[in-house]
Structure formats: structure tokens, C-alpha cells
Amino acid sequence: MSALLIKDFPPELHRKLKEEAARHHRSMTRQALALLEQALSSETRNAAELLPKPLKPAKPVTLNNVVAVIREGRDSGKGRRPE
């Protein structure tokens, strides 16, 4: 049997899945499979409709913008690991 590992599972989505599984007297795995099967077998939807619409940047993203954001992050100390 195949397996699926979901990394960085959002805590709020995990909570909702757990509640939904309990409501249907299923394990979380069985509930996730039921939801996936329902979503992917529906003739009125396709997989692309299940995804959020892509975000469009307010202004064009350039190399200079990216470099500036990286430098800003470094200078602010965000993302640094505690020593």
C-alpha cells in the first residue's frame, strides 16, 4: 500500500480534520482519504479548482527587490537561530 507524508501540516487544518474524523467515527487517515476521494472524484470540480488562486504581486518582482528583502531580513535579525 502507498503512503503519503504531509509536511508542515497547518495546526488549524489538523484540528478541523480531527474534529471531522471524530464526527464521522473515522480515524484521521480514513477521513483524509474520504475527503480526497470525494474532492478528486467529483465531476464538477477538477484539482486546479481546489487550489487557492495564485497571488499577484503589487509590483514586478526583480532581482534587486529580492536582494533588498534578504538584506532587510538579515539586518533585522529575523530568522536567526538562538545561540
- Mind listing the pLDDT tens digit for each residue in 14-63? 999 999 999 999 999 999 999 998 888 866 566 677 778 888 888 888 99
pLDDT at residue 74 greater than cutoff 60: yes
Q: Which amino acid is at 52?
A: P
Do 32 and 47 contact (CB within 8 A), yes or no?
A: no
**For position 82, what pLDDT does the model report?**
60
Q: Indicate the length of the chain as a whole number.
A: 83
Q: What is the pLDDT of residue 29?
A: 94
65's CB contacts (< 8 A; 6+ apart) are: 59
pLDDT at residue 80 greater than cutoff 90:
no
**pLDDT score of 45:** 62
